[in-house]
Structure 1
Amino acid sequence: MMRRSQVLLIAGLSGVASLLLVPVEAIALLPGPPTVVRLLSIIQPAILTVIMVFAGDWATRRTGLHAPVVDAWLQRDCVSPIVRRMAVPAILGAMIAGLAVVAFALSYGNAIEHAATARQSTGTAFALPLATKLLYGGISEELITRWGLVSLFCLIGWRITGRPAQLPYAAMIVAVSLAALLFAAGHLPLLFAIVPDASTLFVIAVIAGNALPGLVFGALFIRYGIEAAIIAHMGAYLVSTAILTAI
C-alpha cells in the first residue's frame, strides 16, 4: 500500500518535470544544448521538493495539518464529501489570488516580458507554459511552501508555545505569513535573471504580488488541507490566464 508521502512525492515531481517545458536556456546564459540546460535547471527544485514532501509529512503528523483527500483515498474512503467541503473556499481563493496575478501582470507584466525578450537572441517572447504553471506552480510549489514550510513553522511555533493540545492560532498566522514571504522572495532570482536592474519598487511589487496569493493558499491549507491550497493555486492560474487572454 502506498504511503501519503509517496503520493505527494509523485505529484510534486510530476510538477518539477513540467519545468522541462520552460525555455530556461534563453535567459540562463549557460553553455550547452537546450535539453542539458533544462535538465540541469530542474535538479534544485527536484531536491527541494523531495526534502519538503518528507519534512512536511513528518511535521504534519505532529501539528494536525493534513492532506484529507489523499488520506481518504489511501484508506479507500469516499473523497467526494471532502472535495465538496473545500471546493467553494478553494474557488473563492482562486479568484482572489487570480485577480492579484492579473493586477500584477497589468502593472508589470509587459516590462518583464520585454526584458526577457531583449535577453534572447531569437527575440521571441519568454513565457511560462500554462502546463508548468498548473503543475509546478499549483502542485510542487504548494508542497514546498505550504506542506513543507508552513508545517515546519507551525511545528516550531507549537514547540515554542509549550506544546499545547491544539496548535495556537498565532503560530498558524506567523507560519503562513513567513512562508508567504519566503514564497514571494523565491521569485526574486528569476526576476533579477530577467531584469537585472529592477528598481526597488519593482522588487516590492513582485514580493507583494506573490505574498498575497501565498497568504490565501496558506489559510486554505490550514483550514481545509493541502489539496484546497493546490486547487486554489491552480485555479488562480486559470482565472488569471482567462482574464489576461480576454483583455
Structure 2
Amino acid sequence: MRTHSLAFEPFPHALQHGRLSLFWALAGALAIPGVLPYAFALHPSLLARIPVPLPVFFALQLIQGFVLLLLLSWIGLRLGQGNGLDSPLARAFVYRAPIAAPLRTLAAACIAGGVTGLAIMVLDRVFEPFMPPAPLPAHGYPELWKRLLASFYGGITEELLCRLFLMSLLVWLLRKLSARKEATPAGWMIRTGIVGAAVVFGLGHLPAAAGVWPLSFVVVARTMLLNVLGGIPFGFLYWRRGLEHAMAAHFCADLVLHGIGGS
C-alpha cells in the first residue's frame, strides 16, 4: 500500500490550515511581480496598456495575487486533506512539527525537473520545422536575469494553482462522485487528477502562444504537449512526495528552459 512518506496526521480543524495558506499565498504573490519583467520584455506593447504608474501596477498585482492565492491555497489544503495530497515540508516549518523524511529527496526532484526541462526542449525541437516563424522581440530575447526570475513564478505560483488547488479539487470531486467509500482515493482518481491538472496547465499557456503565433493545430498541439509533459511528473511528485517536491521540479525545469533553452 502506498503511504505518503512525508505526511503526518492532519490538523483537526479547518482553520488550522490558515497559517500555511498565508505562507503560500505570500510566497506565490511575491513571485508574480518577478515574472512581469520577462513578460514585458517579450511583449513591450503591454506596458502601453497599463493605466497606472508601474510601481502601482506591481503592487496591485501582488495584492490581487495574494488574496486569490490565499483563498485557493486554503481550499487546496482543505480538499487535499485525507486524499494523500499535502504540503508536508512547509506544514512542518509553519507549525514547527517534525519532518518525517530526509530533505535529500528534494535533490532527486530537482534532477527530475531538470531532465523534464531537457525533454521539453527536445520535443520543442521536433516541432520546430512545422511551426510558423516566431517574430523576434523588438529588443531581442529577455536578459538572463529576467528569464531566471520568471522561474519562481512557474515553480511557486503555477504549482499553487495547478497542483495544490486544481489537482486537489479534481481528486476530491472524483471521490465525491464515486460510490467508493474507502479511506484513500483509488489510483485512477489520482491519475485522472494528475492528467486533468496537466491538461488545464497546458490550456493556460495557449493565450501566451497566441501572442506569438496564430493558433493553428500544430501550435495548439505543441503548446499542449510541452506543458502536459511537464505537468504529469509535477503532479506525480505532488502525490507521492508533497507540494514542495513538485515545486522544486517545476522550478528546475524552468531554469533549464529559461537558462539553457533561452525561452
TM-score range, shorter chain: 0.7 to 0.9
Q: Of the candidates 109, 112, 122, which is equivalent to residue 103 of structure 1?
A: 122
Greater helix fraction, Structure 1 or Structure 2: 1
Aligned position for 2:208: 190
Q: Of the candidates 87, 105, 110, which is equivalent to residue 67 of structure 1?
A: 87
Q: CA deviation at 1:225?
A: 0.1
Inter-partner Cα distance in structure 2 for 1:5 and 1:45: 13
Q: Aligned pair 1:159/2:176, yes or no?
A: yes
Q: CA deviation at 1:164?
A: 2.1
Aligned 8 A contact 1:62 1:155 in 2: no
Inter-partner Cα distance in structure 2 for 1:112 and 1:41: 33
TM norm structure 1: 0.82
Aligned position for 1:232: 249
Aligned 8 A contact 1:96 1:213 in 2: no
Inter-partner Cα distance in structure 1 for 2:207 and 2:105: 37
| Cα deviations by residue, 1:49-91 (Å, 9 ceiling, x for unpaired) | 3332122122112423111101221332454944223432x13
Aligned position for 1:125: 140
C-alpha spacing 1:23/1:157, structure 2 compared with 1 (3 Å): closer
Matches within 5 A, 1:6-155: 6-24=22-40, 26-28=44-46, 30=49, 32=51, 35=54, 39=58, 48-79=68-99, 81-88=101-108, 90-106=109-125, 114-115=134-135, 117=137, 123-127=138-142, 129-155=146-172
Inter-partner Cα distance in structure 2 for 1:112 and 1:19: 26
Segments of 5+ residues of structure 2 without an aligned counterpart are: 1-15
Identity of aligned residues (%): 25
Q: CA deviation at 1:131?
A: 3.8
Aligned 8 A contact 1:20 1:38 in 2: no
Aligned position for 1:201: 218
Segments of 5+ residues of structure 1 without an aligned counterpart are: 118-122
TM norm structure 2: 0.77
| Cα deviations by residue, 1:1-54 (Å, 9 ceiling, x for unpaired) | 972111111111111121332343614362646727954777775554333212
Inter-partner Cα distance in structure 1 for 2:212 and 2:189: 36
Aligned 8 A contact 2:32 2:61 in 1: no
One-letter amino acid of the counterpart of residue 94, structure 1: G
Q: Aligned pair 1:222/2:228, yes or no?
A: no
**Count of residue pairs brought into register by the alignment:** 238
C-alpha spacing 1:220/1:104, structure 2 compared with 1 (3 Å): same
Q: Aligned pair 1:213/2:233, yes or no?
A: no
